[in-house]
């Protein structure tokens, strides 16, 4: 990993989070490049991380072992076709962090027969607390799988999928998931204010409670169900609150929500793949 060269096409927020994670993980800045059309952003990235930057996607693709595609899905076809000849000649590992783009489409845009790992990171990667699912096509070697995992692990947890079709479910669960938790925090804060707390007190209590619950779930060997039951004393306040949520159909509502997000992910992949 430390001796491999990594290039990012696109220098946006997710790419920046990966840059920070890689440098913190002792990846040498001299082994990292970024291709970015915005001159001010290139200068800022070079100054912040000590990396090489360029405006030439092909120059980057010709110089690195791993090309991280970190551009918006809508412009991915154009970007891939623009570097296709270079990729065919150099045959680097292609690592896509663009949501909703299937490997077959990326491979077609790049000219075919490419080693591609598709990933689905989420926004907590911006604070090195992300969750990323990965899927590799048959042309990816064991060493390349390890390399791709090392890149994504620099910003949080990584998980390999057995089938690419599972990526839509991942998008619904962890890709969109931070928004669900932000909504819960928002609703807890609003309810706290309605119960008489100040805005700031309600916000701090809601955020810290969410953080503490997530930390307990990560560090405990017990299932979340067990942790919830321990807090829910018979006849107590928590039991009353949970009962009201259950009566309101919260379980079915979450299933419906994730099914909707999964289906939309598939629809968007179909639309993007037509380009």
Residues 83 and 27 in one domain: yes
Rg of the chain (C-alpha set): 21
Give the end of a domain, one of 167, 194, 217.
167
Give the end of a domain, one of 117, 147, 167.
167
Residues 107 and 186 in one domain: no
Give the end of a domain, one of 148, 167, 186.
167
Compute the Cα dihedral for 215, 174, 170, 156 and give only its sign. negative
CATH number of the domain residue 245 falls in = 1.10.3730.10
Q: Between these two residues, 62 and 3, which has the higher pLDDT value?
A: 62
Q: Among candidates 44, 48, 25, which has minimal Cα distance to 36?
A: 44
pTM, full prediction: 0.92
- Beta bridge partner(s), residue 119: 134
Domain that holds residue 254: 175-268
Residues 37 and 135 in one domain: yes
Res 26: pLDDT: 86
Distance CA 12, CA 121 (A): 14
CA angle, residues 260, 156, 96, in degrees to nearest 5 = 65
Residues 83 and 218 in one domain: no
| Digit-coded pLDDT (tens) for 22-48 | 998 889 999 999 999 999 999 999 999
Count of structural domains, the chain? 2
Helical segments of 64-198, H only: 76-90, 103-109, 142-153, 167-170, 177-194
| Digit-coded pLDDT (tens) for 194-231 | 999 999 999 999 999 999 999 999 999 999 999 999 99
Look at residue 2 and tell me whether its pLDDT is greater than 70. Answer: no
In a domain, 242, yes or no: yes
Look at residue 1 and tell me whether its pLDDT is greater than 90. Answer: no
Residues 18 and 149 in one domain: yes
Res 8: pLDDT: 98
Residues 179 and 163 in one domain: no
């Amino acid at each position: 990993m430390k001796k491999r060269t990594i290039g990012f096409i696109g220098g946006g927020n997710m790419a920046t989070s990966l840059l920070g994670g890689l440098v913190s993980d002792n990846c040498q800045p001299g082994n990292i490049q970024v291709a970015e059309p915005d001159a001010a952003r290139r200068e800022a990235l070079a100054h912040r991380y000590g990396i090489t930057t360029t405006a030439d996607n092909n120059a980057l693709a010709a110089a690195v072992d791993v090309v991280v595609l970190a551009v918006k899905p809508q412009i991915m076809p154009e970007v891939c076709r623009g570097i296709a000849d270079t990729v065919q000649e150099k045959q680097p590992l292609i690592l896509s962090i663009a949501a909703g783009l299937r490997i077959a489409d990326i491979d077609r845009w790049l000219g075919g027969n490419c080693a591609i790992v598709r990933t689905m990171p989420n926004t907590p990667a911006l604070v090195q607390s992300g969750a990323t699912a990965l899927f590799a096509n048959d042309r990816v070697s064991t060493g390349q799988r390890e390399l791709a995992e090392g890149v994504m692990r620099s910003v949080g947890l990584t998980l390999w999928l057995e089938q690419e079709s599972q990526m839509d479910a991942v998008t619904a669960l962890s890709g969109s998931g931070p928004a669900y938790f932000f909504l819960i925090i928002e609703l807890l804060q609003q309810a706290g204010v309605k119960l008489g707390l100040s805005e700031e007190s309600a916000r701090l209590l809601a955020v810290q409670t969410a953080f503490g619950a997530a930390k307990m779930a990560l560090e405990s060997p017990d299932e979340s169900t067990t942790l919830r039951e321990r807090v829910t004393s018979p006849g107590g306040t928590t039991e009353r609150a949970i009962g009201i949520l259950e009566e309101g159909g919260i379980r079915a509502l979450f299933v419906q929500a994730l099914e909707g997000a999964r289906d939309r992910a598939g629809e968007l992949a179909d639309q993007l793949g037509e380009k």
